[in-house]
Structure 1
Amino acid sequence: MVSFELEQLYSWINSFLWPFMRILALVGTAPLFSESSIPLRVKVGLSALLAMAVAPALPAPPDISPASYQGLWITAQQVFIGIALGLTMRIVFAAVQTAGEFIGLQMGLSFASFFDPATGANTAVLARLMNVIAMLLFLALNGHLLMLGGLVRTFEILPAVAGFNLDGLGVLFEWSAQVMVSGMLLALPLIIVLLTISLALGILNRTAQQLSVFAVGFPISLMVGLILLTVVLPQTAPFISRLFDSGHQAMARLVHALAGL
């Protein structure tokens, strides 16, 4: 007859529950995995499979009741850590979308927007296009596998029962500045050219006032912007690739900071 104690049952539950909550929180917030087109059952199933694969290699957790205050607090900590890690990589894609917003504004396409189910708000067409390009590049470079690998390594640096240091959130706040910095750097080549065209049209309007800038300027800006996009977009892959590497490094820094290292 097989028998076990209640403490053993708690240990078995916790060895799966706490990694599962951290993984599920990352899957729910990280790029690619958190897309609304992916069914919720698939996300939960993927998180459960990863948790079952990771749990045997982790140290045995303490026999704490999952329904106790201490167990619920540890569960909440795992959710918080997973969300923080997912937002770290989400900032990379937010920077790419910001670049698309800047470019669309200069081209005069800021009004061309549609509802994006991924963000739950209206998104410019160019921002959505650049987000799709970044996502395809993320898959081509196995960025999703590197992100999951980094998540698995967090259990060694920051175990489930170790708690975390709130001062580590400063790394996330510092990294969030890349939304504007990297977004502007990515859009800078097109912005410079389009601003130069706008300046030239403004001078032309002052010298030849019978010429309507609103009738001529929009087609010129749109045509030049589309030509520049065909030239610049294929050259953005190295920059976005380095941005992905910086995102993975930011995840590592965040985990070390939360662990107080």
Structure 2
Amino acid sequence: MLELTDAQIGTWVATFMLPLFRVTAVLMTMPIFGTKMLPARIRLYAALAITVVIVPGLPPLPEFEPLSLRGFLLCGEQVIIGAVFGFSLQMLFQAFVVAGQIIAVQMGMAFASMVDPANGVNVAVVSQFMTMLVSILFLLMNGHLVVFEVLTESFTTLPVGSGLLVNHFWELAGRLGWVLGAGLLLVLPMIAALLVINVAFGVMTRAAPQLNIFSIGFPLTLVLGMAIFWVGLADILSHYQALASEALQWLRELARAR
């Protein structure tokens, strides 16, 4: 008759449960997979499948009792590490959302908003378009595969129970400024072009005061803004490659998986 000790059972539980918490936290918070469009049950099934695949190649994990204080702390640590990875990827997508909000305000389309099905909040239509565009580019360029690779390597570079990620919390907060700066750089040429148009309308108003600038200025700014936005999309791929490379490289540095 096969007899199992508490230590053996604890080792087997830790081998599967601790990686499952980290993988699940990443899938629940990262872009695309962590949105409301993907049911939580599907994300849980995907986390179970990924965990089953990566567990045989992971380094030895510490023993722990699931109902002990140390067990709760280890589980909480894995959730925090996975959530930090997911939120760091969200910053890449939010940079394009900020860019869409800025250009929508400049061209007069800030009133045109819709409910974002991914997050459940109202955003400008331009921001929604940018979100869908960057999501497609992220999947086409296998960004999700890079994330899973870094996640697997993190169990070696950030072993369970090490607590090495605490030093990077301030770096994560500092990346909020990067989101605003990256979003502004994405639409800076468009903002400059729309500024020239607004200055031209101002000159026209001074030259011909009888001209009703409000009746022609708004629709003309909207049409020209859409044309400028369409032309500016020609360089969106190069901007995305630069920002995505920087974001994924920072994710590797965050996980110390170099």
Corresponding position of 2:193? 193
Aligned-partner SS, 2:164: coil
CA distance in 1 between counterparts of 2:126 and 2:186 reads 13
Corresponding position of 1:134? 134
Identity of matched residues, %: 33
What displacement does 1:165 show? 4.5
CA distance in 2 between counterparts of 1:253 and 1:173 reads 15
Corresponding position of 2:60? 60
Asked if residue 151 in structure 1 is aligned to residue 151 in structure 2, the reply is yes
CA distance in 2 between counterparts of 1:185 and 1:165 reads 30
What displacement does 1:8 show? 0.7
- Runs of 4 or more, structure 1, over 3 Å off, are none
What displacement does 1:57 show? 1.5
Corresponding position of 1:207? 207
Asked if residue 35 in structure 1 is aligned to residue 43 in structure 2, the reply is no
Contact 2:33 2:43 in 1 (8 A): yes
Residue identity opposite 2:145 in structure 1: L
Structure 2 matches for 1:156-235, cutoff 5 A? 156-235=156-235
What displacement does 1:174 show? 2.2
Corresponding position of 2:81? 81
Contact 1:175 1:250 in 2 (8 A): no
RMSD: 1.5
What displacement does 1:59 show? 2.5
CA distance in 1 between counterparts of 2:96 and 2:63 reads 45
CA distance in 2 between counterparts of 1:120 and 1:132 reads 15
Contact 1:29 1:83 in 2 (8 A): yes
CA distance in 1 between counterparts of 2:126 and 2:203 reads 28
Corresponding position of 2:8? 8
Contact 1:97 1:183 in 2 (8 A): yes
Residue identity opposite 2:230 in structure 1: T
Q: 1:93 to 1:81 in 2, by over 3 A?
A: same
Contact 1:171 1:253 in 2 (8 A): no
Corresponding position of 2:252? 252
What displacement does 1:250 show? 1.1
Aligned-partner SS, 1:123: strand
CA distance in 2 between counterparts of 1:191 and 1:56 reads 52
Q: Alignment length, in residue pairs?
A: 258
CA distance in 2 between counterparts of 1:165 and 1:16 reads 21
CA distance in 1 between counterparts of 2:28 and 2:56 reads 23
- 1:200-250 CA-to-partner distances (Å, cap 9, x unmatched) read 111211221111111111111111111112211132111111111111111
Residue identity opposite 1:10 in structure 2: G
CA distance in 1 between counterparts of 2:63 and 2:105 reads 57
CA distance in 1 between counterparts of 2:150 and 2:14 reads 21
Corresponding position of 2:22? 22
Aligned-partner SS, 1:250: helix
CA distance in 1 between counterparts of 2:176 and 2:52 reads 32
Where structure 2 has 5 or more consecutive residues not aligned to the other structure, the ranges are none
TM-score of the superposed pair, with normalisation by structure 2: 0.96
CA distance in 2 between counterparts of 1:49 and 1:161 reads 24
CA distance in 2 between counterparts of 1:107 and 1:165 reads 42
Contact 2:168 2:254 in 1 (8 A): yes
Contact 2:92 2:247 in 1 (8 A): yes
Contact 2:165 2:254 in 1 (8 A): no
Contact 1:11 1:60 in 2 (8 A): no
Contact 2:112 2:124 in 1 (8 A): yes
Greater shift in the superposed pair: 127-136 or 197-206: 197-206
Contact 2:81 2:165 in 1 (8 A): no
CA distance in 1 between counterparts of 2:119 and 2:198 reads 31
CA distance in 1 between counterparts of 2:118 and 2:165 reads 31
Structure 2 matches for 1:99-118, cutoff 5 A? 99-118=99-118
TM-score of the superposed pair, with normalisation by structure 1: 0.95
Contact 1:114 1:124 in 2 (8 A): yes
